[in-house]
């Protein structure tokens, strides 16, 4: 597992009709009954929203989902073809993809096997007699992808970015976040009680009685609530200093006297590790106390539950459906996705770079790579000027900022080296076994990097993902092949639209290097202050403005956006739009830009910005995202950002005040 909380992406869980108008401007997405003065998002996207209701099996529906689904269809065709060939070379990637897919699609086999493939695991839990037996099981389960007790993996050392270190972080919960256990909010309390009944139902499905299942659920809730109490909130985890505590193995051992780290590390072939980052020392202290106050029998129930919870989606239909019914509380989806879609996603997730290589070879155009690289250079120039002209910044800080910008690397499309999957055993006998083998293989691959020099050519996301990210430890932005498609990037669209859409994405990632978190890392990717005290104070006041602005937005009455959680992403959005706008104005394309259906080039640019986020979302999903997602809701990514941009207000001739004009204007970059 790669434990980097600070890989900042343009979107989170979310994912074309490729385009409506011949010019790629998508004027038919506009709802002319809405006023750009009151709600630009609704004006720019209202007709799209009306014409694109959320399909039953989705929690939200947006341009990302449409591209995601198209991508799944392409990759599914490839997987299906490979699965039909039973004579592929054993151990080849084609055989691995084809056989993996075949086991997931074989409904008859899955239903016949039920949960029997988990029995060996259940038995190994059953044989546990002592606390040390239980502890010996932990690394084995974690390597399979079972979330027990805590998370363990590798990360770049925040303060020595050339080192790859081991890291232990809070974890072990069955619900997505601590607040679901602790909050007095009614909707979260409801989810808590649904979770309890879900655990009961799942245990009954694997043969336990009603009364035993009820006892089990209570024991599990008790353990997880104690872990939740010791966990940091989402907002607290945004501070890199709060989750960075380098300790020697001896120090970690003293922190948790009842967990034997030397045995744990030895089992993971990490016996040589001398020190690690313990992200949340208080969590581990509390965990240690729990290890000796909870009975071994209850720990066994907890472990068994997490095995079931982790793998239910890859078992027979009754278990898959029970798992889906519980997920509905978070997603609001009305229907389970068809099998091919679930299986494609699983294979894609397990063999991500192998699938990505196929995508790039068959669908990616080198031409778009060159065009996007040119745009990145233009945006970098805009950022350089912005820093040089910043009136609030002293010369010393400017110098460091320019150095960081200069050192920032960019990667577009796909990695120069492809990782291989030699030695991963995938067979036609069991879907869940394939899932487990792939997780073990991928986790071993990650852990083997601990203690090795950092590989700066490594990518954290596979190229077929519809996304982009900035990694502060690498000081590098990565634009994945998957996002270089309409409506984000369309070589045939007017330049204004491309600058508003992909230009915005590029500027967004670049600004992450200088948002409230990125600004704490220097050009070499080290957590090290490069600001004068006065400049940092001014910068904090500016981000505070964004934080307050977004805290006033709500997704439904009583459910407010967490300004402190979204401040980094909202800063990147605001910076990204401004940089893309400046780059557009300095480009030769701007000189040639023309009116289209009465829309000026600037108006087209801002439509391009808004169209990136055209989407609909179910209330359950909106609530989940407000709790977990560091990105603002789609509507406010547009309206909240544009309300701080005077050239937008001029382009649409808006009055001096109103919902689309934020006062005082927040200015960061
Ligand atoms: Zn982002």
Same domain, 236 and 369: no
Provide the pLDDT for residue 18.
32
Task: Calculate mean pLDDT across residues 278-296.
Answer: 98
Beta strands 559-560 and 8-9, pairing class? unpaired
Report if residue 535 sits inside a domain. Answer: yes
User: Does residue 502 belong to any structural domain of this protein?
Assistant: yes
Residue 154, token pair as written in the block:
């590798």
380 alpha carbon – ligand 1 mean position (Å):
17
Chain mean pLDDT for the chain = 95
Res 12 pLDDT > 90:
no
Return the bridge partners of 246, or none: 277
Judge whether 100 lies within some domain: no
Tell me: do 396 and 281 sit in the same domain: no
Domain CATH number, residue 547: 3.40.390.10
User: Is 645 contained in some domain?
Assistant: yes
- Span from the CA of 632 to the centroid of ligand 1 (angstroms): 10
Token pair recorded at residue 324: 């889906």
Burial 572-587 (b: 16+ CB within 10 A, else e): bbbbbbbbbbbbbbeb
Domain range for residue 221?
Answer: 115-314
Instruction: Kindly give the distance from the C-alpha atom of residue 573 to the centroid of ligand 1, in angstroms, as a whole number.
Output: 8
Residues 158 and 252 in one domain: yes
Regarding whether 301 and 234 lie in a shared domain, the answer is yes
**pLDDT given for residue 177 in this prediction:** 97
Query: How far away, in angstroms, is 7 Cα from ligand 1 center?
Result: 8
- Is there a single domain that holds both residue 409 and residue 260? no
Is the same domain home to 273 and 377?
no
**535 Cβ contact list (under 8 Å, min separation 6):** 392, 393, 394, 397
Within this chain, do residues 33 and 168 fall inside the same structural domain, yes or no?
no
- Do 220 and 281 lie in one domain? The reply is yes
User: In whole angstroms, how large is the CA radius of gyration of the chain?
Assistant: 25
Dist. CA 351 → ligand 1 center (Å): 25
What is residue 405's three-state secondary structure?
helix
288: DSSP letter: H
Q: What's the pLDDT tens digit per position in 467-491?
A: 999 999 999 999 999 999 988 999 8
Distance from residue 633's CA to the centre of ligand 1 (Å) = 13
Dihedral, CA of residue 144, residue 147, residue 150 and residue 153, to nearest 10: 40
- Say whether both 299 and 369 belong to one domain: no
Average pLDDT over residues 508-515: 96
| Listed residue (173, 525, 539) closest to 181, CA to CA | 173
Q: What mean pLDDT is predicted for residues 200-228?
A: 98
In a domain, 15, yes or no: no
CATH number of residue 302's parent domain:
1.10.1380.10
User: Same domain for 276 and 131?
Assistant: yes
Q: Are residues 303 and 395 in the same domain?
A: no
**C-alpha of residue 469 to centroid of ligand 1, in Å:** 7
Judge whether residue 178 has pLDDT over 90: yes
Residue 585's pLDDT band, with cuts at 50, 70 and 90, is very high
Count of structural domains within the chain:
2
Closest-CA residue to 394 (of 538, 557, 587, 218): 538
Of 180, 179, 154, 175, which Cα lies nearest the Cα of 165?
Answer: 154
401 phi/psi in degrees, rounded to 5: -65, -45
Give distance in angstroms: CA of 467 to centre of ligand 1.
Answer: 10
pLDDT digits (tens, 9 = 90+) for 391-443: 999 999 999 999 999 999 999 999 999 999 999 999 999 999 999 999 999 99
Residues whose beta carbons lie less than 5 angstroms from ion ligand 1 = 8, 10, 569, 572
Examine residue 184 and state whether it is found in any structural domain, yes or no: yes
Pair 492, 586 in one domain: yes
Confidence of residue 165 (pLDDT cuts 50, 70, 90): very high
In the reported structure, the alpha carbon of residue 280 is separated from the centroid of ligand 1 by a whole-number distance in angstroms of: 24
Instruction: Quote the ligand 1 centre to 512 CA distance (angstroms).
Output: 7
Q: Given pLDDT bands bounded at 50, 70 and 90, which one contains residue 24?
A: confident
Q: Is 516 exposed, middle or buried (0-12, 13-18, 19+ CB in 10 A)?
A: buried
Quick: pLDDT tens for 78-111.
999 999 998 999 999 999 999 999 999 999 999 9
pTM equals: 0.95
What pLDDT, on a 0 to 100 scale, did the predictor assign at position 443? Answer: 97
12-26, 443-457, 539-553: which has the minimum mean pLDDT? Answer: 12-26
What angle is formed at CA 573 by the lines to CA 632 and CA 51, rounded to 5 degrees? 65
86 versus 20: the higher-pLDDT residue is 86
Q: How far apart are CA 149 and CA 223, in angstroms?
A: 10
pLDDT, position 368: 87
pLDDT of residue 11: 55
Report the pLDDT value the prediction gives residue 367, as an integer from 0 to 100: 87
In this predicted structure, what is the pLDDT of residue 492? Answer: 86
Q: Is the pLDDT of residue 47 over 80?
A: yes
DSSP letter string, 590-629: HHH---BTTB-HHHHHHHHHHHHT-EEE-HHHHHHHHHH-
* Exposed e or buried b per residue across 160-196, where buried means at least 16 C-beta atoms within 10 angstroms of its C-beta: bbeebbbbbbbbbbbbebbbbbebeeebbeebbebbe
Question: pLDDT band at 8, cuts 50/70/90?
Answer: low
- CA dihedral in degrees (450, 451, 457, 459; nearest 10)? 10
Distances (CA, A) of 112 to 84, 280, 345: 21, 43, 23
Please tell me the least confidently modeled range out of 219-223, 425-429, 490-494, 567-571: 490-494
Q: What residues contact 531, with CB distance under 8 A and at least 6 apart?
A: 397, 400, 519, 539
Is the pLDDT reported for residue 16 higher than 60? no
Cα(409) to ligand 1 centroid in Å equals 16
The torsion of the CA quartet 188, 193, 197, 198, rounded to 10 degrees, works out to 20
Pairwise CA distance, residues 661 & 326, whole Å: 41
- The answer to the question of residue 221 being in a domain is yes
Q: Give the range among 31-35, 489-493, 626-630 with minimum mean pLDDT.
A: 489-493
Report the pLDDT value the prediction gives residue 10, as an integer from 0 to 100: 60
Indicate the pLDDT class of residue 9, thresholds 50, 70 and 90: low
């Amino acid at each position: 597992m790669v434990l980097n909380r600070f890989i900042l992406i343009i979107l989170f869980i979310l994912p074309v009709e490729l385009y409506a108008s011949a010019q790629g401007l998508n004027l038919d997405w506009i709802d002319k009954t809405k006023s750009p003065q009151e709600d630009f998002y609704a004006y720019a996207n209202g007709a799209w929203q009306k014409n694109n209701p959320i399909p039953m099996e989705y929690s939200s529906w947006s341009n990302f989902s449409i591209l995601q689904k198209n991508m799944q269809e392409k990759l599914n065709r490839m997987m299906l073809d490979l699965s039909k060939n039973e004579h592929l070379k054993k151990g080849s990637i084609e055989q691995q993809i084809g056989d993996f897919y075949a086991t997931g699609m074989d409904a008859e086999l899955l239903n016949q096997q039920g949960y029997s493939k988990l029995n060996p695991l259940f038995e190994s839990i059953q044989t546990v007699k002592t606390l040390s037996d239980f502890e010996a099981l932990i690394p084995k389960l974690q390597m399979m992808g079972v979330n027990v007790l805590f998370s363990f993996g590798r990360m770049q050392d925040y303060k020595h970015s050339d080192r790859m270190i081991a890291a232990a972080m809070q974890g072990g919960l069955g619900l997505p976040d601590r607040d679901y256990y602790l909050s007095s909010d009614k909707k979260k309390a409801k989810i808590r009680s649904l979770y309890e009944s879900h655990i009961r139902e799942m245990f009954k499905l694997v043969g336990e009685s009603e009364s035993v299942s009820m006892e089990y659920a209570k024991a599990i809730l008790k353990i997880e609530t104690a872990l939740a109490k010791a966990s940091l909130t989402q907002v607290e985890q945004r501070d890199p200093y709060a989750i960075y505590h380098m300790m020697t193995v001896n120090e970690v051992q003293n922190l948790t006297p009842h967990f034997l780290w030397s045995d744990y590390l030895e089992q993971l072939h990490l016996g040589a590790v001398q020190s690690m980052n313990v992200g949340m020392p208080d969590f581990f202290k509390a965990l240690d106390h729990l290890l000796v106050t909870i009975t071994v029998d209850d720990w066994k129930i907890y472990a068994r539950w997490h095995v079931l919870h982790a793998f239910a989606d890859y078992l027979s239909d009754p278990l898959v459906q029970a798992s889906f019914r519980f997920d509905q509380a978070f997603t609001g989806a009305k229907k389970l996705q068809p099998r091919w879609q679930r299986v494609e996603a699983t294979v894609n997730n397990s063999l991500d770079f192998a699938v990505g290589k196929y995508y790039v070879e068959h669908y990616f155009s080198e031409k778009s790579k060159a065009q996007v690289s040119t745009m990145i250079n233009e945006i970098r120039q805009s950022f350089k000027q912005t820093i040089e002209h910043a009136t609030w910044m002293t010369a010393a800080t400017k110098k460091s900022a320019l150095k960081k910008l200069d050192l920032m690397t960019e990667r577009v499309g796909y990695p120069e080296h492809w990782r291989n999957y030699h030695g991963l055993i995938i067979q036609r006998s069991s879907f869940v076994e394939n899932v487990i083998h792939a997780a073990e293989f991928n986790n071993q691959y990650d852990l083997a990097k601990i203690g090795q020099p950092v590989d700066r050519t490594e990518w954290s996301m596979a190229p077929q993902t519809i996304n982009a990210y900035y990694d502060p430890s690498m000081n590098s932005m990565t634009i994945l092949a998957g996002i270089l498609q309409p409506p984000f990037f369309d070589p045939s669209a007017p330049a204004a639209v491309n600058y508003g859409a992909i230009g915005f994405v590029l500027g967004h990632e670049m600004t992450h290097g200088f948002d409230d978190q990125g600004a704490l890392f220097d050009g070499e990717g080290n957590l090290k202050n490069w600001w004068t005290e006065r400049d940092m104070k001014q910068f904090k006041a500016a981000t505070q403005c964004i934080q307050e602005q977004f805290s006033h937005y709500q997704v439904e009455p009583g459910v407010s956006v967490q300004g402190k959680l979204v401040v980094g992403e909202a800063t990147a959005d605001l910076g990204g739009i401004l940089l893309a706008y400046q780059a557009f104005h300095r480009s030769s394309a701007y000189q040639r830009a023309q009116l289209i259906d009465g829309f000026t080039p600037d108006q087209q640019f801002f439509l391009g910005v808004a169209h990136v986020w055209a989407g609909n979302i179910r209330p359950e999903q909106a609530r989940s995202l407000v709790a977990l997602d560091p990105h603002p809701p789609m509507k406010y990514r547009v309206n909240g950002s544009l309300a701080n941009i005077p050239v937008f207000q001029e382009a649409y001739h808006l009055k001096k005040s109103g919902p689309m004009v934020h006062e005082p204007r927040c200015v960061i970059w």
